[in-house]
Structure 1
Amino acid sequence: MGRLFGSDGVRGRANQDLTAELALDLAVAASHVLGESGAQRRLKALVGRDPRISGQFLECAVVAGLASTGVDVVRVGVIPTPGLAHLVRAGGADLGVMLTASHNPMPENGIKFFRAGGWKLDDAAEDAIEAQLLEPWQRPMGAAVGRVSDAPQLVEEYVHHLVSTLRTVTQDNISLVGLKVVLDLANGAGHRTAPAAFRELGAEVVVINGKPDGTNINDRCGSTHPEELQRAVLEHGADLGIALDGDADRAIAVAADGEIVDGDQMIAILALAMQERGLLKGRAVVVTSMSNLGLDHALKDRGIDVIRTDVGDRHVMRAMRDGGYNLGGEPVGHVILRDLATTGDGALTALMLMAVMSDSGAPLAELASVVQRIPQVLINVPDVDKHRVETDADVVAAVAAANAALGARGRVLLRPSGTEQVVRVMVECEDAERSRAVAEGLAAVVAERLTLRTTTPRSTARG
């Protein structure tokens, strides 16, 4: 069996790859690894989920696994992932379990674990949970088994957290009155919490895709499919649109003119606003290798450093914690405000973005224009030995030569897929034709040197 944990928890097709039996076993193992060793008190866990119908039986399995180890379990019900993380931290729980596959379609589901304090797990904790799956354990009996209770009212505490956080951070009792926003809620976990927080702060809110039925989560909507949101912003004459994903830990924005504002641009907007107020720690932001080079140019020209990590918001968070930084994220819309949250929070990010708009009086398109995206070409090279991408001498030499040729105004990234035998070749350069030529040359080297069988690379281009 390969490693169960991916870039963000355990995911798979519900009831095939991710079964009730596996969910129960993972919960048992997690309680042993994440619970306080030798604690003289009863351990407490919070369990939440997104609206997928498969989340119901997986929740039952997780709750049973935790309670069978003597952990008291509180079921929160449908709640955004950052909401559960906040409640774990605020309530002093020993661990949290979120049933969600984030932006993935409905047949998928997943399990995300949080340790005490609301933090995602590092690789060592995940490896320990996987190892614990094979170990025998002593089962408590009688009064020693865990109690199970329901506390759906805790969702309202998360809404209060969003509202109070914005008011505290801005220090101006800021209001969003006068701003009209369209919220695409992806028929997901944020369908109640996000509209409530935005309206309480005074914004005029139009909701689309806010009626989850258990099967329509992320179905041609939300942050991975913003086309409907773009149309709705124009139709309603809104100041902006915000698209969340299924578990509401990421957000993509749309300006009044219908143009997408991605995570890189939102990070730049927040970084400049925080720097102006003296709130940007270390005068730096942390992003992944996938962030556009245009972000580097925009911020470095204004005295802000850009620090890069591996793909995945937990890698961003680890670098932020290690370096003492308080802003980071990914272009897909995971934005982490570390002073305010332990994970990406789409609603919180959007509220902070609107606060900058309200404070500056500038439209979103003007604020976002600080980042001029560098043309980017991405080529997926399938059916190759992805594990040799960093060790094959010819591939390494080709990458070095390409980086030297592009210089400081361009870059090359070869990244193995986390789930397939695919190597992703990305090239950024201000000359789009040159980007494509360099990318195609590198893809050819990868295909020739690492091939598992004869194949033709597939390519896409992004501006």
Structure 2
Amino acid sequence: MGKYFGTDGFRGEANVGLTADHAYKVGRFLGWYYNELRRRAGDETPAKVVIGKDTRRSSYMFEYSLVGGLVASGADAYLLHVTTTPSVAYITRMDEFDCGIMISASHNPYYDNGIKLISGSGEKMKEDTIELIEAYLDGNLVVFDSKWDTIPFATKEKIGCTVDYASGRNRYIGYLISLGMYSLKDMKIGLDCANGSSWNIAKTVFEAFGAKTYIINAEPNGTNINRNAGSTHIEGLQKFVVENGLDVGFAYDGDADRCLAVDENGEIVNGDHILYIYGKYLKEQNKLKNNTVVTTVMSNFGLYKAFDEEGIDYAKTAVGDKYVYEYMIQNDCCIGGEQSGHIIFSKYATTGDGILTSIKMVEVMKDKKQKLSELKRGFTVYPQVLKNIRVKDKREAQSDKDVIAKVDEVAALLGDSGRILVRESGTEPVVRVMVEAADESVCNQYVDSVIEVIKAKGHVE
């Protein structure tokens, strides 16, 4: 992680941690950099960058700032308008853009925003390019064997233009619809759109399959994205599914790259459940590549117990869907994701895609003629206690020898009946201490014992 960009883009409170000036400079660099790459390859046509945004009030400000920077550097900016992160990844790859930009702070409150960058292959942008952007923002850019105190503006006919590209979003919707394998005329499906990017996409897709759709939180006003809605506040959908007798419900986050589900009884089906259900389904069909499901270190201990029972191998990566995807590509795996609902189906997408995840869950339900509550049987979630503690220096707190000793002690006491994980936040001055065990009181006891050492050693802010 760099100074500005974390595991999922450049994120901060709008015009506080992330300003319109930042966005303009990011646009300036990307427009110039991709034009220069083209020029050095003998191509004088302008670079093409596609941009999507979520429903936050500040997204328009950042969109215009990015466009200003891009066209000032001579690149053409194509606008998808309000759309999902996975749609930007899809269109970037399919329509051969130099890169894609998504303006969103995902599940964060409306006053935050972010800039997510996507490579021409539809994947999260590589770290070496991110490092160049950060160097430019700090005024110490060295690239192409030169130090650049300033980068040139485009002039005359070289100035870029802006293109309305809503047709790209519509093509993505068509792509999702093409993946449907079953008629859903006999199903009642609930959709919680978090007043975010999925509000004008998810309903269209499921109605095309013939489902009777029940929609909540699909009236964005610029300040209600994720507010008591979506995958981070799923209790509303739980109640909605039960009250309306629905077969299943799906909740998305602000930019719809994650999905959590609710079964017919109103019980949560999180990302780990989804990995278990679809991993098991693929194995039964002899389609689970390398017999492996890719998880992160935050997946529940019970998931690994369930995979062991099914004879399914698993890998653990650092937290972040970019790391999951990198492992999947390097090791030829077809399914992976996070407990939070970022699920990647590498045959169909290069990023987590909440609506796609919904489609695949319904596919399993229809094919196996089972309810979601039945499909998740065999996976028992272990109690998990996760506590955050604000510290002066995340790395210093984690590397303290006494903290390490306490963590090792807890791990030894848990043995193979649980686990402890201590990790730093990617976006805050916070250390996260998590314990999973068969008993919640044991989890609390061990988490508190580690936090006490962190406090005693003076690391607390």
Tell me the TM-score normalized by structure 1: 0.93
8 Å CA contact 1:49–1:59 kept in 2: the answer is yes
The one-letter code matched in structure 2 to 1:285 is V
The one-letter code matched in structure 2 to 1:151 is Y
> What are the residue-to-residue correspondences of 1:302-341 with 2, within 5 Å?
302-341=310-349
The one-letter code matched in structure 1 to 2:238 is Q
- 1:33 deviates by 4.4
> What are the residue-to-residue correspondences of 1:370-389 with 2, within 5 Å?
370-389=378-397
| TM superposition outliers: structure 1 runs of 4+ over 6 Å | none
- Aligned counterparts of 1:231 and 1:452: Cα–Cα separation in 2: 39
2:455 corresponds to 1:408: no
- Aligned counterparts of 2:228 and 2:398: Cα–Cα separation in 1: 36
- Aligned counterparts of 1:263 and 1:154: Cα–Cα separation in 2: 28
Q: Gapped runs of 5+ residues in structure 2?
A: 140-147
2:452 corresponds to 1:444: yes
> What are the residue-to-residue correspondences of 1:277-356 with 2, within 5 Å?
277-356=285-364
8 Å CA contact 1:251–1:346 kept in 2: the answer is yes
- 1:430 deviates by 1.2
- 1:349 deviates by 0.2
The one-letter code matched in structure 1 to 2:29 is A
2:94 corresponds to 1:90: yes
The one-letter code matched in structure 1 to 2:235 is E
2:172 corresponds to 1:158: yes
The one-letter code matched in structure 1 to 2:90 is H
Change in 2 beyond 3 A, CA 1:116/1:431 = same
8 Å CA contact 2:250–2:260 kept in 1: the answer is yes
Name the counterpart of 1:358: 366
Name the counterpart of 1:120: 124
- 1:390 deviates by 4.1
- Aligned counterparts of 1:149 and 1:437: Cα–Cα separation in 2: 57
2:210 corresponds to 1:206: no
Change in 2 beyond 3 A, CA 1:33/1:339 = farther
- 1:435 deviates by 2.1
| Equivalent position to 2:163, from 137, 146, 149 | 149
Q: SS at 1:343's partner residue? A: coil
Name the counterpart of 2:5: 5
- The superposition leaves residues 54-79 of structure 1 with CA deviations (integer Å, 9 ceiling, x where unpaired) of 11121111111111111111111111
- 1:34 deviates by 5.1
- The superposition leaves residues 421-441 of structure 1 with CA deviations (integer Å, 9 ceiling, x where unpaired) of 322111111132222222222
Name the counterpart of 1:244: 252
8 Å CA contact 1:381–1:447 kept in 2: the answer is no
Name the counterpart of 1:61: 65
Percent of pairs with identical residues: 39
- Aligned counterparts of 1:277 and 1:93: Cα–Cα separation in 2: 36
2:34 corresponds to 1:26: no
2:111 corresponds to 1:107: yes
The one-letter code matched in structure 2 to 1:6 is G
Segment drifting more, 131-140 vs 95-104: 131-140
Name the counterpart of 1:459: none
Name the counterpart of 1:460: none
- Aligned counterparts of 2:291 and 2:272: Cα–Cα separation in 1: 16
- 1:32 deviates by 4.0
8 Å CA contact 2:32–2:75 kept in 1: the answer is no
Q: SS at 1:119's partner residue? A: coil
- Aligned counterparts of 2:167 and 2:118: Cα–Cα separation in 1: 20
Change in 2 beyond 3 A, CA 1:202/1:412 = same
- Aligned counterparts of 2:450 and 2:61: Cα–Cα separation in 1: 46
- 1:369 deviates by 2.4
- Aligned counterparts of 1:268 and 1:148: Cα–Cα separation in 2: 44
The one-letter code matched in structure 2 to 1:443 is I
The one-letter code matched in structure 2 to 1:19 is T
Change in 2 beyond 3 A, CA 1:433/1:215 = closer
8 Å CA contact 1:271–1:327 kept in 2: the answer is yes
Tell me the TM-score normalized by structure 2: 0.93
- Aligned counterparts of 1:293 and 1:439: Cα–Cα separation in 2: 16
Change in 2 beyond 3 A, CA 1:394/1:151 = same
8 Å CA contact 1:44–1:93 kept in 2: the answer is yes
Name the counterpart of 1:45: 49
8 Å CA contact 2:324–2:336 kept in 1: the answer is yes
8 Å CA contact 1:69–1:139 kept in 2: the answer is yes
Q: SS at 1:249's partner residue? A: coil
8 Å CA contact 1:388–1:450 kept in 2: the answer is no
8 Å CA contact 2:270–2:341 kept in 1: the answer is yes
8 Å CA contact 2:13–2:113 kept in 1: the answer is yes
Name the counterpart of 1:129: 133
- 1:123 deviates by 2.6
8 Å CA contact 1:300–1:306 kept in 2: the answer is no
8 Å CA contact 1:33–1:129 kept in 2: the answer is no
- CA RMSD, Structure 1 to Structure 2 (Å): 1.6
The one-letter code matched in structure 2 to 1:115 is S
- Aligned counterparts of 1:18 and 1:421: Cα–Cα separation in 2: 17
- The superposition leaves residues 343-374 of structure 1 with CA deviations (integer Å, 9 ceiling, x where unpaired) of 00000001100010011111101112222101
8 Å CA contact 1:268–1:295 kept in 2: the answer is yes
Name the counterpart of 1:226: 234
- Aligned counterparts of 1:450 and 1:338: Cα–Cα separation in 2: 45
Name the counterpart of 2:83: 79
- 1:25 deviates by 0.1
Name the counterpart of 1:191: 199
- 1:124 deviates by 2.4
- Aligned counterparts of 1:397 and 1:162: Cα–Cα separation in 2: 50
- The superposition leaves residues 370-421 of structure 1 with CA deviations (integer Å, 9 ceiling, x where unpaired) of 2210111122233353212442222222222221221122111011223333
8 Å CA contact 1:100–1:247 kept in 2: the answer is yes
Q: SS at 1:322's partner residue? A: helix
